[in-house]
């Protein structure tokens, strides 16, 4: 059977309407795979960038005849738009037994009928009509997309079984009814695709295959998830968890990005990648005012984005004692360097930095220092002996 694939269901209607000079927003994030009747070429593909501008047909003189107008108009359309028109008409004209047409070619059905009635034209057409009518109850079947291969195997096995049944002189009407009942029983044992879980993400596990029109559809949810607001006190730790509430394929990759300056945005053009961040969990410690901004995590499978999560980090709390905010900002500017990769690395202060930090010499820290000094003195004494 000829297969035509397209990324967007609206590409059929959108491509046709843009060629007709009709504008209208397509439906994003709806990914479709179409399986068209056998009359179309096997190498036919449907696909066009939805961002391309509309094609404007040449104006038609008013003095021409109606037939000339129609002919001139279609000659002015792009070839791809005509292909989409043919594909769309083929889908709209498909009979209600489309589930049978999705998994059996016209040649396979004809070969089965030839086994029952021979090569006679009238009898052969009557058998083919009865074949399609027997499967009329399966036009509304929806299955999980991952089970499409299994259903194809069921129809293949049914084809071989009918060819063997034809040798027994059994009436084809009865054989077709039994075959349809067997296929329906197999479909009933399949698990339904899980429902889409809002608010975001390309959820392949929820993709469904619809027998009526022989195409698959996935959740119409945005790729970008809502921004999560986080408030962390200066000097403490911030944790980001890049997790979604739907099942992910394997393997997946995580890409972390950041835009500073206190920007709260989802516009990817502002973000810069953080090469040092890997995995689904990232942290910052200690949090500083320069970390105030939006962090982005993109989950991808085979380089195809599945979801983008956003975290807006708001740093609160006063500056260190003895410093004003202006002094802190000036010091950050003087020491600035393009080291975005260090944003999500753990903080490992030295002993000198620890002692130099305000409030470090607390009574408990004094006790720890005294204990360390005593252990060090004992070690030196033992070595002297």
Q: Which of 282, 285, 262 is nearest to 346 (CA)?
A: 285
Question: What does the pLDDT read at residue 18?
Answer: 37
pTM: 0.57
> b/e map of 202-230 (b: 16 or more CB within 10 Å)?
bbbbbbbbbbbbbbbbbbebbbbbebeee
Quote the percentage of the chain above a pLDDT of 90.
49
The yes-or-no verdict on residue 270 having pLDDT over 50 is: yes
More confident of the two residues 72 and 298: 298
- In this prediction, residue 44 has a pLDDT band, given cuts at 50, 70 and 90, of very low
The yes-or-no verdict on residue 308 having pLDDT over 90 is: yes
Q: Which of 9, 205, 194, 151 is nearest to 88 (CA)?
A: 9
* Tokens 């006190």 sit on residue: 233
Range 232-252 average pLDDT: 94
Quote the percentage of the chain above a pLDDT of 70.
61
Range 58-68 average pLDDT: 45
Q: Strand 215-217 and strand 224-233: pairing? A: unpaired
The yes-or-no verdict on residue 84 having pLDDT over 90 is: no
Question: What does the pLDDT read at residue 162?
Answer: 96
End-to-end CA distance of the chain: 92
Are 206 and 195 contacting, i.e. CB atoms less than 8 angstroms apart?
yes
Token couple for 33: 């795979």
Phi/psi region, residue 293 (left: phi>0; alpha: psi -120 to 50; beta: rest), is: left
- In this prediction, residue 356 has a pLDDT band, given cuts at 50, 70 and 90, of low
Q: Which of 222, 128, 219 is nearest to 176 (CA)?
A: 128
Q: Which of 192, 199, 307, 198 is nearest to 249 (CA)?
A: 307
pLDDT in tens, 147-161: 999 999 999 999 999
Q: Strand 224-233 and strand 281-284: pairing? A: unpaired
* Cβ-Cβ contacts under 8 Å for 50 (sequence gap 6 or more): 8, 10, 11, 14, 26
More confident of the two residues 325 and 115: 115
Positive/negative CA dihedral, 90, 95, 96, 101? negative
Least confident among 176-185, 216-225, 289-298, 364-373:
364-373
What is the 8-class DSSP label of residue 347? P
Are 130 and 172 contacting, i.e. CB atoms less than 8 angstroms apart?
yes
| CATH number for the domain formed by residue range(s) 224-350 | 2.60.40.10
Q: Phi/psi of residue 189, each to 5°?
A: -85, -10
Query: Which ranges of 220-274 would DSSP assign to H, the alpha helix?
Result: none
Most trustworthy range by pLDDT among 4-18, 19-33, 82-96: 82-96
More confident of the two residues 38 and 306: 306
Are 143 and 187 contacting, i.e. CB atoms less than 8 angstroms apart?
yes
Are 35 and 29 contacting, i.e. CB atoms less than 8 angstroms apart?
no
Are 211 and 98 contacting, i.e. CB atoms less than 8 angstroms apart?
yes
The yes-or-no verdict on residue 298 having pLDDT over 50 is: yes
Average per-residue pLDDT in the chain?
Answer: 74
Q: Within the chain, which residue ranges are assigned CATH 2.60.40.10? A: 224-350
More confident of the two residues 342 and 273: 273
Q: 254 has which bridge partners? A: 299
The yes-or-no verdict on residue 244 having pLDDT over 80 is: yes
Other CB atoms within 10 A of residue 62 CB:
6
The yes-or-no verdict on residue 186 having pLDDT over 80 is: yes
């Amino acid at each position: 059977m000829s297969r035509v694939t397209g990324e967007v269901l609206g590409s059929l209607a959108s491509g046709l309407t843009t060629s007709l000079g009709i504008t209208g927003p397509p439906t994003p994030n709806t990914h479709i795979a179409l399986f068209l009747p056998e009359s179309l070429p096997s190498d036919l593909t449907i696909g066009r960038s939805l961002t391309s501008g509309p094609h404007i047909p040449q104006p038609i003189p008013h003095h021409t005849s109606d037939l000339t107008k129609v002919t001139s108009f279609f000659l002015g359309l792009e070839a791809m738009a005509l292909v989409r028109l043919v594909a769309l008409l083929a889908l709209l004209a498909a009979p209600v037994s489309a589930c049978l047409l999705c998994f059996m070619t016209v040649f396979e059905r004809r070969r089965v009928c030839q086994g029952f009635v021979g090569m006679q034209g009238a009898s052969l057409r009557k058998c083919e009509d009865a074949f399609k009518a027997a499967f009329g109850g399966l036009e509304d079947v929806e299955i999980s997309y991952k089970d499409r291969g299994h259903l194809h195997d069921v129809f293949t096995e049914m084809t071989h079984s009918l060819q063997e049944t034809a040798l027994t002189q059994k009436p084809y009407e009865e054989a077709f009814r039994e075959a349809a009942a067997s296929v329906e029983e197999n479909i009933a044992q399949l698990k339904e695709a899980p429902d889409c879980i809002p608010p975001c993400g390309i959820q392949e596990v929820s993709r469904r295959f619809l027998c009526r029109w022989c195409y698959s559809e996935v959740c119409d949810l945005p790729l970008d998830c809502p921004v999560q607001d986080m408030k962390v006190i200066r000097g403490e730790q911030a944790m980001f968890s890049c997790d979604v509430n739907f099942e992910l394929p394997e393997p997946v990759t995580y890409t972390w990005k950041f835009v500073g300056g206190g920007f709260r945005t989802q516009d990817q053009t502002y973000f810069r990648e953080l090469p040092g961040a890997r995995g689904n969990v990232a942290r910052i410690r200690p949090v500083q005012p320069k970390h105030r901004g939006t962090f982005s995590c993109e989950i991808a499978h085979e380089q195809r984005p599945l979801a983008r999560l956003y975290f807006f980090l708001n740093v609160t709390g006063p500056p260190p004692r003895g410093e004003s905010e202006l002094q802190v900002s000036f010091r950050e500017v003087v020491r600035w360097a393009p080291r975005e990769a260090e944003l999500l690395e753990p903080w490992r202060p030295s002993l000198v930095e620890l002692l130099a930090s305000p409030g470090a010499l607390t009574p408990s820290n004094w006790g720890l220092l005294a204990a360390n000094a005593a252990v060090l003195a004992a070690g030196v004494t033992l070595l002297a002996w």
